[in-house]
Amino acid sequence: MRVGFIGLGSQGAPMARRIVEGGHELTLWARRPASVEPFADTAAKIADTPAELAAASDLVCLCVVGDDDVRQVLTGETGVLAGLAPGAVIAIHSTVHPDTCTEIAELAGRHDVSVLDAPVSGGGPAAADGTLLVMVGGAETDVEKARPVFATYADPVVHLGPLGSGQVAKILNNLLFSANLGSALSALELGDSLGVARDKLCEVLVRGSATSKAVNSISMFGGTVEGLAPIAGALLQKDVRHAASLAAAAKAAEGSVFTAADTALQHMDHPR
């Protein structure tokens, strides 16, 4: 499988390294030359444009930040779609709105190119270990084409249904994580009022039956979420906003999960 990879950040870079070390022919493109320098010791090739990368690829994986970033690298005279051959597949690892995936699929369909939405969870360490969670939406035949590549950096790879369903699952995952952060903060603030030292209560909540990734994340930053804000605040804000949009479109009540999520976002100075 010839693979192109765009988005060599803290999570994308180890994903790309797992691909080339897994024996797949890999082509990279990045806006900044510094992003591809760490791959000098691999067999990865470097393209001058996304279109050049696409021309050398059967599968193009995107791990850029958001909806507009996905559109920018795919469209235009030097974009990915300008270079892909019919029958190729695009995998969107970025967390974006499901409607963006539908929009991209319509554009790609004019080139006889398929699209998978394949957001990931686990971060850079999981990518380096090959244990990312990949949530995939799209046609079964396209999922099976891409699965050997996904398997180089992910375990498990969960096919959730048609295009967009992977993004729905990831957005709901991040909504619940944000809500868990908010609930944990409320418990810690109650502990403050009752005279329990926050660092000690964090230790109890991490090791006791209430433990969760949210509590562990808070404990790593001294019992607050302010330290998380530079790392995840804007991303969680985006995903909670996407969740609210999905709920509104489905005419579903937002419920207490949004209230708890807003608590965390407000503490990070990123209110929805």
Residues ≥6 apart with Cβ < 8 Å to 190: none
Q: Which range has the worst mean pLDDT, 45-54, 75-84, 197-206?
A: 197-206
Q: Please compute Rg for the chain using Cα positions.
A: 20
Active site residues per annotation = 170
pLDDT-above-70 percentage for the chain = 99
Closest CA to 4 of 39, 53, 69: 53
Cα–Cα separations (whole angstroms), residue 81 to 31, 59, 69, 128: 17, 12, 14, 29
Q: In the CATH scheme, what architecture does the domain 2-162 have?
A: 3-Layer(aba) Sandwich (3.40)
| Chain segment 198-257, per-residue pLDDT in tens | 999 999 999 999 988 899 999 988 888 887 877 788 888 999 999 999 999 999 988 899
| Mean pLDDT computed over every residue of the chain | 94
Q: What is the pLDDT of residues 182-203, one digit of tens each?
A: 999 999 999 999 999 999 999 9
Q: pLDDT tens-digit profile of 94-146?
A: 999 999 999 999 999 999 999 999 999 999 999 999 999 999 999 999 999 99
Q: What's the pLDDT at 170?
A: 97
CATH architecture of the region 168-267 = Orthogonal Bundle (1.10)
Residue ranges covered by each domain of the chain: 2-162, 168-267
